[in-house]
Structure 1
Amino acid sequence: MSRLFRDVGGGPVCPGGSVVCIGAFDGLHLGHRALVRHAAARAKDFDAEPVALSFEPLPREFFGAGDPPPRLMLPRAKVEGLRAVGARTIGLLRFDAAMAAMDAADFVRQVLVRRLRAREVWVGPGFRFGHRRGGDLGLLQRMGAELGFGAGEIDPLLHQGERVSSTAIRAALAAGDFAHAARLLGRPYAISGRVVRGRQLGRTLGYPTANLRFGGKVPALRGIYATRVHGVGDAPWPSVSSFGTRPTVDGVEPLLEAHLFDFAGDLYGRRIEVEFVARLRDEEKFADLPALVAQMDRDAEQARRMLALHPEPALDDAGHSTHTARR
């Protein structure tokens, strides 16, 4: 049974001891998963609790509130992914002004020692933490020697000579290179969420959509895409999706709208996952609704062709595609 906690304060979360890994874990790519799995394996050696520790919002979102960086993954998907790779306890610590001002040594004492009873702490290359990024692996090791825990850093994970990183994945998505993003992630890039009601304009235009909000975060991609929707049928459902602010109808909040080809049914309230396969074009504003519908017709036709050319990949844990098609 897994546990989730959000606060620095409070009693021990892992009174029997833990092995902790710390990171942003945005996207939960191959490098992140290697870190979590290493900590989980070490926790078995200690008969301790495997813990993944992160922050929400991410520190770079807190400090860049006026111009927040793009996010690959929403918090719920991150928690589900961390559980899937072996974290039994997950900390999504609230990153606010108090957290930003916390000295790195205080973070070690209050969170790692008092709350988590850490036996070991593992981080990725170049990890920094605490007020003004004053903490690093060296501080963890020095304080660990005094307070009774070990600390280590895993090696960078390389894929065909390139370091696997969230930055590289964002760049691949921005360029529409979903195959490269999938190799770094170890799976196709997808966004999951619960279908919400929109303005239902798509239905009146002949293109009903399943709509997902992005939780007030800035998405890492924007435009019109050939997609597959998971969670609707036995196999991924072919679709065409728009992700943006819908300028023709004066939208504001980024919304992911997926039109499932030849689908009849009510998806409101259902959790689905939209997998991105190919980029079709940028989002644009049209003079009127008939012009928008004409472009939607072209988008749907192009998306069907692109999906036929891109069979659904099955990726192993190293990001290698086995090119298995299920639909």
Structure 2
Amino acid sequence: MSDSAATPERPRLFRDIARVEPAEQGSVVCIGAFDGLHRGHRALVDRAVAQARGLGIEAVALSFEPLPREFFGRAAPPPRLTLPRAKFEGLVGLGCDRVGLLRFDAAFVARSAENFVEDVLVAHLGAREVWVGPGFRFGNGRAGDIALLRRMGDAHGFAAHEIEPVLRHGERVSASAIRRHLAAGELEAAADLLGRPYAISGRVVRGRQLGRQLGYPTANLRLAGRTAALGGIFAVRVHGVAAMPMPAVASLGTRPTVHGVEPLLEAHLFDFDGDLYGRRIEVEFVARLRDEEKFDTLDALVVQMDADAALARRILGATRTPKVET
């Protein structure tokens, strides 16, 4: 960005547009759900950031939390690819100077498309350019589209652009396609659309310590009430523990053998001995081993866990090594 750019000292997150002070020189705004930050999202954000850098002004990404599909489908919310913090961090990593995760609630739903443009894009963000993905709709009743953005842009002094769909091997890159691949255990296909292996990040929380009693201590991540996009037993790599990703075997589900209820991601790191509580880690999914299932006894469960761990080691090329300690 040029020296004249009105860039914040550090990336800023905002939830309430009413508290946002407009950038003096305006901004380039990209809008989307950004769930997964896949290749299509990155093409959109990259275009907006490049335009902002060329103009010497801020790049702002606008998204919504909860996602609109979560809000309208509360009885059966769609699987989530990226949790809010990871989405914010990813957008910042792509070069966005400010990120808005606007509260998507009844009051926001009631906004007309025209009000969204005038209040959010013009009054508070000083938009000079607005970039959206193909087929983007917004406002009450989904009345807003690229045509409305262009008409209002002519009146308010901003340009509106819609990027072309991004294709991979003839398949359109979309969060829906990625969810389908993940649900089917097609991790390589999902990774191709994402542009990276699928991963879940979060802070390690305390569990019931049952894994430790069974000889398989785990680092546990909660899903913050979101529906997981995949489930079962997996070979994984865990980032954020050592200098290199650590091989592990993980389960993602409700643990029916031990009467679990809350969905939980549990990763057993091979040849590791340490306390990870409170640490932020990222679990990268490499291969799906099997479905989650209920066993009649804990002994039967341990036998299967031994087999899962051995298979995960082979897939990951993880020979036994001296234990890593922290």
Pair in the same fold by TM > 0.5? yes
Query: Against the structure 1 CA distance between its residues 130 and 158, is the aligned structure 2 distance closer, same or farther, given a 3 Å change threshold?
Result: same
Shift of 1:47: 1.7
From 272, 297, 302, the counterpart of 1:293: 302
Instruction: Tell me which residue corresponds to 1:320.
Output: none
Shift of 1:14: 2.3
Deviates more, 1:204-213 or 1:1-10: 1-10
Q: Structure 2: any 5+ residue segments left out of the alignment?
A: 1-9, 319-326
Q: How many residues align?
A: 309
Shift of 1:66: 0.5
Instruction: Tell me which residue corresponds to 1:167.
Output: 176
Aligned: 1:9 with 2:9: no
Alignment of 1:63-142 (within 5 A): 63-142=72-151
Contact 2:14 2:20 in 1 (8 A): no
Aligned: 1:146 with 2:155: yes
Distance (whole Å) between structure 2 residues aligned to residue 296 and residue 11 of structure 1:
51
Distance (whole Å) between structure 1 residues aligned to residue 22 and residue 46 of structure 2:
20
Distance (whole Å) between structure 1 residues aligned to residue 97 and residue 17 of structure 2:
18
Give the letter aligned to residue 205 of structure 1: L
Deviates more, 1:117-126 or 1:44-53: 44-53
Q: Structure 1: any 5+ residue segments left out of the alignment?
A: 310-327
Distance (whole Å) between structure 1 residues aligned to residue 109 and residue 132 of structure 2:
19
Contact 1:15 1:116 in 2 (8 A): no
Percent same amino acid at aligned positions? Answer: 69
Distance (whole Å) between structure 1 residues aligned to residue 274 and residue 33 of structure 2:
37
Distance (whole Å) between structure 1 residues aligned to residue 271 and residue 188 of structure 2:
26
Shift of 1:11: 4.6
Instruction: Tell me which residue corresponds to 1:235.
Output: 244
Aligned: 1:30 with 2:39: yes
Write out per-residue CA displacement over residues 84-134 of structure 1, whole angstroms, 9 at most, x where no aligned residue.
Answer: 111110000000000111111001111001110000100000000011101
SS in 1 for 2:267: strand
Distance (whole Å) between structure 2 residues aligned to residue 102 and residue 28 of structure 1:
26
What is the Cα-based RMSD across aligned positions, in Å?
A: 1.1
Aligned: 1:254 with 2:256: no
Query: Against the structure 1 CA distance between its residues 11 and 307, is the aligned structure 2 distance closer, same or farther, given a 3 Å change threshold?
Result: closer
SS in 1 for 2:49: helix
Aligned: 1:308 with 2:317: yes
Distance (whole Å) between structure 2 residues aligned to residue 56 and residue 251 of structure 1:
27
SS in 2 for 1:51: strand
Write out per-residue CA displacement over residues 50-93 of structure 1, whole angstroms, 9 at most, x where no aligned residue.
Answer: 00000000000000000000000100000000001111100000
Distance (whole Å) between structure 1 residues aligned to residue 224 and residue 24 of structure 2:
34
Shift of 1:308: 2.6
Instruction: Tell me which residue corresponds to 2:234.
Output: 225
From 185, 196, 221, the counterpart of 1:187: 196
